[in-house]
Amino acid sequence: MHSSCQQAPDRARDHQFIAMLDAYRSSGGLARAQEILAMFKRCGGPGVSALARWVVSRELICFEWQAQTWLPVFQFNRRDLTPDLRLRPVFAELTQIYDSWEVATWFSLPNPWLAQRAPVDTLRRDHDAVLEAARAERFALSG
């Protein structure tokens, strides 16, 4: 896909990847870039150039695992498969302190600012709380 998709070559990350698969399952799961492009095609959505542009501009998070580009499906608008614009400010906070793999992991893990709920599970109920958790995380790590 694109070099801005962070690589995760370390075999130790296999366990993290499996945990992310489980954590993202209820929000649409993780999909390979090829699967996302197939969804676009089936729905008459955008193409590969749009996906690449969104990744480069960090409107979407993706990461590499075992020579495949993976994207969490929750970040797509279900109507037209464009990036969910509400996520831009959250991504803007997190990409200042984390690489793409770490951002994807952050969304999947229980968060103390969200009463130990994972941000991906909290987004639909309370987007503002997820944004505040991302801001708190950035502040805690960067001062």
Q: Per-residue confidence of the chain (143 residues) as pLDDT tens digits?
A: 555 565 545 767 899 999 999 999 999 999 999 999 999 999 888 889 999 999 999 999 999 999 999 999 999 998 889 999 999 999 999 999 999 999 999 999 999 999 999 999 999 999 999 999 999 999 999 87
Q: What is the pLDDT of residue 98?
A: 96
Q: Which contacts qualify for 47-56: CB closer than 8 Å, 24 or more apart?
A: 52/1, 52/2, 54/83, 55/1, 55/2, 55/4, 55/5, 56/2, 56/4
